[in-house]
Chain A
Amino acid sequence: MDKPFAITLDPGSSLANRTGSWRTSRPVYLDRLPPCNKQCPAGEDIQGWLFHAESGDYESAWRHLTKDNPFPAIMGRVCYHTCEGACNRGRLDEAVGINSVEHFLGDEALKRGWKLTPPASDSGKHVLVVGAGPSGMSAAYHLRRFGHRVTVYEAGPLLGGMMRFGIPKYRLPRDILEAEMQRVVELGVTVKLNNKVENILDTMREGKFDAAFLAVGAHIGKRAMIPAGDAAKVIDAISLLRSMEGEDKPMLGRRVVVYGGGNTAIDVARTAKRMGAEPLIVYRRTREKMPAHDFEVEEAMQEGIMVKWLSTIKQAHESSLTIEKMALDSKGFPQPTGEFETIEADSLVLALGQDVDLGLLEGVPGLQVSDGVVQVGANMMTGHPGIFAGGDMVPAERNVTVGIGHGKQAARHIDAWLRDEEYTPPPQREVAVFENLNTWYYADAPKTVRPMLDIIRRQSTFDEVQGGLDESNALFEARRCLSCGNCFECDNCYGVCPDNAVIKLGPGKRFQFNYDYCKGCGMCVAECPCGAIKMEAEEI
């Protein structure tokens, strides 16, 4: 006891004082589901791949992305990016340009020749995929990655399905399409082109397939009953777009009338414009009711395409059409007015939707068809065990991204089915809503817009309309991501804790709470920019 005057105790550290015992609620780290990821029909972990892109590690970003979707260069051009509509940044300034970063990553991969990861094992099972469109090729990719042998039967002469025969070149250049398709083939997927499956059960038996995924698309243009004179030239939109891929370009004349209001109608009109015609879209309702995406209508208008709203075509003649004006009733449905007019037209293109050719399914027991599409369960399986279906031939929204998502879903269920198991998706995480964020910490940063081809070339050539970002602005755009609900290691919790009760684990390892000293003040939760911490009541 050799201590100075009046001192009886040894000096001690306050670490002996476990202030964690004061706590009535505790902070916990969590990964919330970002709204973009929740929205994506292809199930991409968007926030996850943007996280890699933010640090300029584009290859990791691309590898993370292609775990869910092997076609980023295609997606960056044709996906309707509903993710951006869900983006929390939209409530701060503008949504993150997710689609343009995906576009950049896809092009970067093609430029650098990055290859998809080959399968690690061989299951010995053989799966038939019918149709080499987005859904079929997505399924082929995922099935191959699970270690199954995959053979794709395609009725057409080339890979891509509706992406090649339905989407014009100015939106999706063919070299990009071909390159991303080939990359899947290189994984060891066998493709048989010009091989139409006439009867699915016969083909499965002959090829000794263990399961099949059908994704034949919807290639039959719908016809409307329009009385037409012998000399009138009437064709359907999908045949027209398909013939654009061949040597013999269709002869449409100068005045081309396109009937319909969907994306296909817009595609046809813009294609006709580029062939030197003067297209006119006739649609029975108004612009607000038009099913085509707003930006596509906008781009078409910029290119000088005219639209006649509230009109139906009553009769087609050799060089003119009879049109009846419509009026919307109180419920918003178009009703005939009895007022007619005549417009000049050298040809009429019907863009009224497409049907599925279900010929290959005749006589398959258990299979259900209603409204012209095949019914499937939540596991994408038809009523016939072992036959799965997806894409445009099942009831769902029809677009490339949905098709790719179906391919992935089906592949997971097929893989489980082949092992006599059931695929159970991981439990849904809670969604990171705007209110979870502390937006003070994000600097203002306006969206970077991709360059558009000049209008003259858009009206006369099939050059790609929308350009891509370059490295510097793609990086900028990726860094606009708020990382909703997922820690990006900003050190805020580590910094703002008055009790020094957050342990920093080092780069890439995030943080941990030291509950011995955490008093539960909640400051880390309030100051976390991205909402990756929440308070939970303490059991007392």
Chain B
Amino acid sequence: MSFQPVHFYQTGTFTVGNRLLSPEERSVQANLERTNSLNSGHRACQGCGEALGARYAIDAAMNAARGRLIAANATGCLEVFSTPYPETSWQIPWIHSLFGNTAAVATGIAAAIKVKRQQGQMADVRVVAQGGDGGTTDIGFGCLSGMFERNDDVLYICYDNGGYMNTGVQRSSATPPAARTATTMPVGPEPGNAFGQGKFVPAIAMAHEIPYVATATVADLRDLEHKVTKAMGIRGARYIHILVPCPLGWGAASQDTILLARLAKETGIFPVFEAEHGEVTGVLKIRRQQPVDAYLKLQKRYAHLFGKKPAVETIARLQAAADKNIRKYGLLDQEAN
């Protein structure tokens, strides 16, 4: 199994921390001395899933690398809201790349470290590249694939919120079907993003047979931290794809960010798994299965499905896609149900 085994503490078993757990069993986020890699004062919207996911992931990576970490960051929300010149929220060595070349920049940093280490001028420092789904699945995809096939020693983290949110919610190749954006069909028989388009980059990363690929959400902190820690223990190209709900782009209430991430996993819409060398080695099982409606209804980008005449067929297609994920990845625990 991919996730950290949960000790049976009834109160707060799935919480961030727990006063009843011994310190080594607690999450990085529960620690008083966590890095807070992405500090207060950043300009992300209220309830930003990406700001949360980035702190979760980079704090865990900092913890695993004992504070010796450099991050390259693609253009996108994360860069814009965290680093308006001359201020920055980052409390780690951090470099802003172009929109499309962050994987290549990280490769370069890793190569430089390698040379310096060979010359005995530097102790080990690890490299993380990070970007949104636009910078990863669209604009930076060539550089990313190159980093994978060369097996460069970089952990690439993609924060997937399903669109170009900081420029006004345009469609990306990670926008899910039927979701409305500024650049999808606003009206007509099937408004929203078309079915049959887009791509699921974790599967493409797996096709490169790199050492480690994983998906995660901001709703399962322990699973996310476990995966980042595991990835940091491996050399070579690694890829983690984190689902980060966007209250602005999804048209959701700011307090529902974690709930939406949880529902994406519990409905089967977003499969949470990990893979090594192209093979799936573990999945995070659905704990309390929900129909896709529960997830869709909370978001205005799907509001057109629930009007006076609900788009029953479209909802059924989305449910079928979720069911396909459940079958494909074995997301339901047969014994438990």
Q: Report the separation of the CA atoms of residues A506 and B31 in the bound assembly, to the nearest whole angstrom.
A: 10
Is B44 in contact with chain A by the CB < 8 A criterion? yes
Count of chain A residues near B, Cβ 8 A = 54
Task: Determine the chain A residues whose CB is within 8 A of the CB of B256 once the complex forms.
Answer: 526
Chain A contacts for B41, CB-based, 8 A: 13-19, 517
* Contact status A479-B20, CB under 8 Å: yes
Given known pairs A440-B262, A441-B15, A496-B16, the reply for A517 and B40 (CB within 8 Å) is yes
Query: CB-nearest residue of chain B relative to A518?
Result: B40
Complex: A516 Cα to B254 Cα, angstroms:
19
> Are the C-beta atoms of A441 and B12 separated by less than 8 Å?
yes
**Residues B42 and A494 in contact, CB atoms below 8 Å apart:** no
Which residues of A429-476 have CB atoms within 8 Å of chain B's CB atoms?
Answer: 440-443, 445, 476
Give the complex CA separation of A54 and B8 in angstroms.
12
Dominant secondary structure at the B interface: loop
Q: Mark B1-37, 1 if CB is under 8 A from A, else 0.
A: 0000010111111111111100000110110100010
* Closest A residue by C-beta to B27: A495
Taking chain A's interface residues, is the majority helix, strand, or loop, or is none over half, making it mixed? Answer: loop
Residue in B18, B27, B51 whose CB lies within 8 Å of A498? B51
- State in angstroms the CA–CA spacing of A54 and B21 once bound together: 11
Distance of A455 Cα from B40 Cα, bound (Å): 65
For A508, the closest partner residue in chain B by CB is B19
Query: Does A134 lie at the interface of the complex (its beta carbon under 8 Å from any beta carbon of B)?
Result: no
Of A476, A488, A514, A526, which contacts B12 at CB under 8 A? A488
> Which chain B residues border A12 with CB–CB below 8 Å?
86-88
A327 within 8 A of B: no
A371: chain B residues within 8 A (beta carbon): none
For B217, list chain A residues within 8 Å (CB): none
Which residue of B11, B51, B88 contacts A499 across the interface (Cβ within 8 Å)?
B51
B12 touches A13 (CB 8 A): no
B13 lies within 8 A of A441 (CB): yes
Neighbour of A54 across the interface among B11, B16, B262, CB < 8 A: B11
- The yes or no answer to B258 lying at the interface (CB within 8 A) is yes
A336 at the interface (CB under 8 A from B): no
0/1 per residue, A195-226, Cβ < 8 Å to B? 00000000000000000000000000000000
Complex formed: what's the CA distance from A517 to B89 in Å? 12
Scan A484-513; emit 1 where CB is below 8 A from any B CB, else 0. 000011111011111111001011000000
Task: Determine if A521 and B221 form an interchain contact, defined as CB atoms under 8 angstroms apart.
Answer: no
CB-based nearest B residue for A497: B52
Q: Is there contact, CB below 8 Å, between A519 and B46?
A: yes
Which of B19, B221, B253 is in CB contact (< 8 Å) with A507? B19
Judge whether B47 is part of the interface by a CB distance below 8 angstroms.
yes
Closest chain A residue to B54 by CB distance? A498
Q: Contacting A476 at CB < 8 Å: which of B10, B27, B52?
A: B10
Given contacts A491-B16, A526-B255, contact A498 B49 (CB under 8 A): yes
A480 at the interface (CB under 8 A from B): yes
Q: Which residue of B lies closest to A96 (CB)?
A: B10
Tell me the minimal C-beta distance from A472 to chain B in angstroms: 12
| Residue B39 lies at the interface, judged by CB distance under 8 Å to chain A | yes
Asked if B16 and A490 sit within 8 Å, CB to CB, the answer is: yes
Partner among A489, A492, A507, A521 whose Cβ is within 8 Å of the Cβ of B254: A521
13 A–B pairs (Cβ distance < 8 Å), ordered by A: A11-B87, A11-B88, A14-B40, A19-B40, A19-B43, A490-B17, A491-B15, A491-B16, A494-B16, A506-B32, A521-B257, A522-B253, A525-B255
Which 9 residue pairs spanning A and B have beta carbons closest together? A491-B17, A495-B16, A522-B255, A14-B41, A521-B47, A490-B15, A521-B46, A517-B40, A443-B13
